[in-house]
């Protein structure tokens, strides 16, 4: 998962503090840590459907083990954690990093990032539904006749989970790490207690058993591999959450706790199924003795809620990054913590995700059916990460092509095999995340294209700012006291709000700042690089405010640094002039009618610039403008 965690930490932690390692367990490893609930079970279902021998369990567990080794340990823990963009990770960070090293805004890089983010949003709907359903279904082993209550209970948990987002999760997030530590210890203990049920399972540690399973079953192995991939869903969080914890705590937590616990769990489940084939129906929960089944179900439910929380928080963060990079309209962002910058809440994103998760639970009704829809979005996102990594290795790290291909081709080839295996599940439910991702891609491409065309049109009709400043210097209107700030995307042209103010009010302030907010390809911008001022003429200055794509722009606070450069600025004696545009659909030739309607709808959904840029509402003046598109 990509994005801010429920508990945010400094951007560049340099310590292996045990508290950071404990927090990693609850934030980074929530998703991948709950995969033993269903990964082996679903793989065995496909093996049974293809009438594979009982000893195929060894090959499947070997596939699970070596998939985790190659994709999670080698790709992410060893390699990708080194590919940081000023300490930050994730798909959009990698896009920004690749864009920076190529020194141009390549359209295909933007498109790659759009596809990756869209696939992530598809996965962020399925993960809560899949995880919580898997845990609640464990109650059927404890309470007879509970099958009819699985969906209602799951819906209650999901709705409650999304409901609490509005008030933040700062308090409960402190429990995430300890709960997940208990989860991993219990998981490891249960697995270890069953490993000797059939010692043949230790053969799964031999990679030849995984290779032999694929060679022996040919194309019949693909459906099984589609389910095997469920073991590494959530691996993207290793990379995405690097900025919150640092690579060292993430690596230590993985190697010392998570990876051993996952290995013991899969080996223990496999040994038990070899010894008792009937246990394949639900191997994870059947590892527990009868007296411990209910506590295990409750612990599993808590773990899946934590995994879901991590995904939801990641969705908020990724959406905020997409807004900063211009891939989505401005969205309302609420900060739910006074001390933790990463605690954000996006109401519209939360509502969309909740509706999607509830629809999935109602439509599929069980984790077994939903497993068919799970995986395809994650594999697509991982393939995109690998493609972007090739660019970074070659152009940022200056590796030669031979080592780049030697490292990345095997990983990319394996991920493509898993992608093909998951594509086979499209008709069985895999179309769900693809449909959602396709919708998000359409929205993002339309928004990006529409904004570019609209800005190009406005620039063509605008008057040069230097010309306006010179004319006003020669023939000044009535001068009033105070400072006026005009926000504009193009600092070389006169802002419409300035022209309308001169036309209707016939006045000019003593000081006029033409402000442009720029989003950099780095996650954060140093305070000393935040502001740049350039004189245009008497009473006019051009101002650039730089923010990282993970920062929330605060224009008044950034402008307060102008005093250090000899400019007087007081937010309470400053008027902020904004141009409010009204789009009229179908009267222009800017875009096709359907795209214009979609763009217009997205434009109307954008949050008010007053709140987005943290402007004092009692100092804002809005002037209207109608535009035909």
- Are 508 and 559 members of one domain? yes
Q: 3-class DSSP state for residue 521?
A: coil
- Are 407 and 532 members of one domain? no
Give the tokens for residue 352. Answer: 């969309």
The DSSP letter of residue 498 is: H
Write down the number of H helices and E strands in the chain: 27, 8
Give the tokens for residue 442. Answer: 């359409």
Distance from C-alpha of 505 to C-alpha of 218, rounded to nearest angstrom: 77
| E-only strand ranges, 524-607 | 531-537, 540-547, 574-584
Chain centre distance of CA 299: 26
Distance from C-alpha of 268 to C-alpha of 86, rounded to nearest angstrom: 41
- Are 241 and 390 members of one domain? yes
Distance from C-alpha of 75 to C-alpha of 79, rounded to nearest angstrom: 5
Write phi, then psi, for 133 (nearest 5 degrees). Answer: -60, -45
Distance from C-alpha of 554 to C-alpha of 615, rounded to nearest angstrom: 7
Distance from C-alpha of 476 to C-alpha of 195, rounded to nearest angstrom: 87
The DSSP letter of residue 248 is: H
402 in a structural domain = yes
For 625, residues 6+ apart whose C-beta sits below 8 A from its C-beta are 496, 500, 579, 580, 581, 582
456 in a structural domain = no
Give 10-residue mean pLDDT values along the chain (629 residues): 35 56 81 90 86 84 94 89 72 78 73 85 85 89 87 94 78 79 96 93 94 88 88 79 74 93 97 93 93 93 86 81 84 66 78 92 88 81 88 85 90 89 83 88 91 82 88 90 90 89 89 91 83 92 88 89 84 87 75 88 85 88 79
> What is the per-residue pLDDT for 41?
92
Q: Is the distance from CB of 602 to CB of 446 less than 8 angstroms?
A: yes
Distance from C-alpha of 626 to C-alpha of 582, rounded to nearest angstrom: 5
- Are 38 and 186 members of one domain? yes
322 in a structural domain = yes
- Are 379 and 488 members of one domain? no
Find where tokens 């998939």 sit: 67
Any idea what the Cα angle at residue 469 is, between residues 464 and 473, rounded to 5°?
Answer: 150
| CA 490 vs CA 104, 214, 263, 454, 487: distances in Å | 19, 57, 55, 12, 9
Q: Count the domains in the chain.
A: 2
Secondary structure element (H or E) that encloses residue 623, with its range: strand 620-628
> What is the per-residue pLDDT for 62?
96
- Are 348 and 414 members of one domain? yes
- Give the count of beta carbons closer than 10 Å to the beta carbon of residue 139: 20
450 in a structural domain = no
For the chain, give the longest Cα–Cα distance: 94
454 in a structural domain = no
In terms of residue numbers, what domain contains 82? 18-430
- Are 70 and 193 members of one domain? yes
For 600, residues 6+ apart whose C-beta sits below 8 A from its C-beta are 583, 585, 629
Distance from C-alpha of 173 to C-alpha of 47, rounded to nearest angstrom: 39
> What is the per-residue pLDDT for 126?
86
Domain end position, chosen among 414, 430, 446: 430
Chain centre distance of CA 322: 9
Angle at which helices 56-67 and 221-228 cross, to 10°: 50
- Give the count of beta carbons closer than 10 Å to the beta carbon of residue 534: 11
> What is the per-residue pLDDT for 455?
82
> What is the per-residue pLDDT for 86?
66
Q: Is the distance from CB of 37 to CB of 286 less than 8 angstroms?
A: no
Burial level of 127, CB count in 10 A (0-12/13-18/19+)?
A: buried
- Are 417 and 487 members of one domain? no
Find where tokens 């339309």 sit: 446
Domain end position, chosen among 430, 454, 481: 430
Looking only at the bridges linking them, the beta strands covering 620-628 and 574-584 are parallel
Domain end position, chosen among 430, 450, 481: 430
Give the tokens for residue 286. Answer: 């059947």
CATH classification of the domain holding 48: 1.20.1740.10
- Give the count of beta carbons closer than 10 Å to the beta carbon of residue 516: 18
7 in a structural domain = no
Write phi, then psi, for 621 (nearest 5 degrees). Answer: -120, 125
281 in a structural domain = yes
- Are 385 and 505 members of one domain? no
- Are 425 and 521 members of one domain? no
477 in a structural domain = yes
> What is the per-residue pLDDT for 247?
80
- Are 375 and 501 members of one domain? no
- Are 234 and 336 members of one domain? yes
């Amino acid at each position: 998962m990509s994005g801010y965690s429920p508990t945010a930490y400094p951007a560049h932690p340099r310590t292996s503090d045990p508290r950071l390692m404990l927090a990693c367990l609850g934030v980074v490893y929530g998703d991948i840590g709950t995969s033993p609930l269903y990964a082996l079970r679903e793989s065995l279902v496909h093996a049974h459907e293809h009438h594979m021998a009982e000893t195929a369990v060894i090959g499947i567990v070997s596939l699970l083990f070596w998939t985790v080794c190659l994709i999670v340990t080698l790709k992410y823990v060893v390699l990708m954690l080194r590919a940081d963009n000023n300490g930050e990770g994730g798909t959009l960070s990698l896009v920004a990093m690749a864009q920076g090293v190529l020194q141009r805004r390549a359209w295909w890089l933007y498109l790659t990032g759009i596809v990756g983010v869209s696939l992530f949003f598809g996965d962020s709907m399925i993960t809560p539904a899949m995880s919580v359903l898997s845990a609640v279904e464990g109650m059927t082993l404890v309470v007879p006749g509970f099958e009819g209550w699985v969906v209602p209970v799951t819906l209650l948990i999901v709705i409650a989970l999304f409901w609490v987002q509005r008030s933040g999760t700062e308090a409960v997030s402190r429990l995430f790490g300890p709960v997940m530590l208990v989860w991993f210890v219990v998981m490891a203990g249960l697995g270890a207690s069953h490993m000797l049920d059939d010692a043949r399972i230790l053969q799964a540690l031999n990679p030849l058993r995984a290779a032999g399973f694929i060679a022996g079953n040919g194309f019949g192995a693909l459906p099984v591999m589609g389910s095997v991939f469920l073991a590494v869903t959530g691996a993207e969080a290793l990379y995405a959450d690097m900025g919150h914890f640092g690579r060292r705590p993430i690596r230590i937590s993985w190697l010392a706790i998570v990876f051993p616990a996952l290995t013991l769990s899969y080996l223990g489940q496999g040994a038990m199924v070899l010894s008792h084939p009937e246990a394949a129906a639900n191997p994870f929960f059947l590892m527990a003795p009868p007296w411990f089944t209910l506590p295990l179900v409750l612990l599993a439910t808590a773990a899946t809620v934590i995994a879901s929380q991590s995904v939801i928080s990641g969705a908020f963060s990724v959406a905020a990054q997409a807004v900063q990079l211009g891939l989505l309209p401005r969205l309302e962002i609420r900060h739910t913590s006074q001390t933790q910058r990463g605690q954000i809440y996006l109401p519209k994103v939360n509502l969309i995700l909740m509706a999607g998760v509830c629809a999935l639970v109602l439509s599929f009704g069980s984790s077994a059916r939903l497993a068919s829809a799970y995986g395809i979005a994650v594999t697509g996102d991982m393939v995109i990460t690998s493609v972007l990594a090739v660019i970074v290795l070659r152009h940022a790290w200056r590796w030669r092509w031979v080592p780049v291909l030697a490292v990345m081709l095997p990983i990319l080839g394996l991920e493509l095999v898993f992608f093909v295996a998951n594509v086979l599940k499209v008709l069985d439910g895999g179309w769900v995340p693809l449909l959602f991702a396709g919708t998000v891609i359409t929205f993002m491409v339309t928004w990006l294209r529409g904004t570019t065309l609209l800005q190009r049109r406005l620039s063509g009709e605008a008057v040069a700012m230097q010309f306006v400043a010179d004319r006003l210097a020669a023939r000044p209107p009535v001068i009033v006291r105070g400072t006026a700030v005009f926000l504009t995307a193009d600092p070389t042209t006169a802002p419409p709000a300035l022209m309308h103010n001169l036309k209707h009010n016939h006045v000019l302030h003593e000081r006029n700042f033409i402000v442009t907010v720029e989003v950099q390809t780095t996650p954060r911008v140093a305070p000393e690089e935040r502001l740049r001022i350039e004189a245009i003429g008497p009473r006019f200055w051009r101002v650039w405010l730089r923010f990282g794509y993970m920062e929330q722009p605060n224009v008044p606070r950034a402008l307060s640094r102008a005093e250090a450069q000899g400019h007087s600025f007081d937010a309470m004696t400053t008027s902020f002039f904004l141009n409010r545009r009204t789009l009229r659909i179908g009267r222009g030739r800017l875009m096709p009618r359907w795209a214009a309607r979609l763009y217009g709808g997205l434009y109307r959904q954008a949050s008010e610039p007053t709140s987005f840029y943290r402007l004092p509402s009692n100092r804002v003046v809005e002037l209207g403008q109608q535009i035909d598109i």
